[in-house]
Structure 1
């Protein structure tokens, strides 16, 4: 039996934390290991409790979710952060993704969406459907393009030809199933290639790969 997914809840509203706890702890493979009411407490709890996933509100007094996300990802690279936001394409949510979060989720998401998002982030996928992630980044691509200077060298130099194909497919928002169909591979083979791409590019997850593709000007190439 695999270990349960350890989740830390971060929100300045206690009632919201209670609601999320009730939903998540009803699942046999998820356990809530702690709660925090602001970013500073979230950072301390992440160090003390070693969660797998942090559900992070971005708008909090003191240290907000963006700053907390950046510090958690820097200090604990294995921890995945799932941002909680009120509106789609919220600038705070995007800031948190840029800071290292693996995706975002609306606070009024359905129970099944919340649970699925936690599981997706834990296994290294984005918390959004791939095309939803792409839509988010498409709208905010100018910010990404100006955020990081273009590199003169080939950022994909360490990838094999097949891994490059997989990289570009991820950047286009394709799921493993869609990549398998496009490249005439089995899904298990695609999963292996995705893992190698993440490792070689030092990418946290698929969302990070999409961001890197935009930063390197490779999102529209094939």
Structure 2
């Protein structure tokens, strides 16, 4: 039996934190090893408990949650970071992506989505996932923005994607987590991670957002739908 995923929860709202702890502990594969309500308390708690994943609110009482996420990413490269937010809007999503978090989830999301984000963060800390990422990137592209330091005219070194890799690209565009992609494709988690890496390499991308934007420019996926063309 595999070891459970260990999680620290950082949220300034007591009731929200209590609900998160109850939700997570109801899953046999996930264990809470710590919780706190302030950004100032989080670094020491994480350093002492060594969790696989930290789940934190974007708006903490004493600090910007995304700033805390950036500091944690700089200190703990393998730490999965899930950001919860009650703030709608593409700008917050893009800030989260640029910060280097693993997953971005709305506080009104279904329980399964929250748990899925935690599982994704535990196995693919450096791979960003968020529901609606593809359409958000399409809106940004239509507005004339070039996100994350990319160049509109840039072309990848190789775009000869196999049918399986095109399927992976389609799933990336939907915002599906890596574990969910593995289940959808009926492959192992390690195989799914390998496919994702190959897609990034062939598109000359360093993350999911880069891959999706490149694929949109090449017509490999439809911006308005986030599915294979």
State the TM-score, normalizing by the size of structure 1.
0.72
Q: Deviations over 1:25-67 (max 9, x none)?
A: 1111111111132333223322222211111111123331111
C-alpha distance 140-154 of structure 1, shift in aligned 2 (>3 A): closer
Q: Alpha-carbon deviation of 1:190?
A: 5.5
Matches within 5 A, 1:74-113: 74-89=74-89, 91-113=91-113
- CA distance in 2 between counterparts of 1:118 and 1:98 reads 19
Tell me the equivalent position of 1:15: 15
Q: CA deviation at 1:162?
A: 5.0
Question: What residue is the counterpart of 1:193 in the other structure?
Answer: 194
Match of 1:68 in 2: 68
Task: Rate the CA distance shift 1:48–1:198 in 2: closer, same or farther, 3 A.
Answer: farther
CA distance in 2, matches of 1:33, 1:105: 21
More strand as a share of residues: 2
Give the superposed CA RMSD.
3.9
Q: State the number of aligned residues.
A: 209
User: Could you say which residue in structure 2 is the equivalent of 1:148?
Assistant: 149
Residue of structure 2 equivalent to 1:210: 208
Deviations 1:160-204 (A, max 9, x none): 965995575565448647996xxxxx7459625325438969xxx
Task: Give the Å deviation of 1:92.
Answer: 3.1
Q: Find the counterpart in structure 2 of residue 52 from structure 1.
A: 52
How far apart, in 1, do the equivalents of 2:216 and 2:42 lie? 33
- Cα–Cα, structure 1 residues 101 and 93, in superposed 2: closer, same or farther, change >3 Å? same
CA gap 1:93/1:171 in 2 versus in 1, 3 angstroms: closer
Pair 1:143–1:30, CA change in 2 (3 A)? farther
* 1:148-169: CA deviation from partner (whole Å, max 9, x where unpaired): 1539987657x99659955755
Q: Which residue is 1:220 aligned to?
A: 217
* Equivalent residues of 1:56, 1:82 under 8 A apart: yes
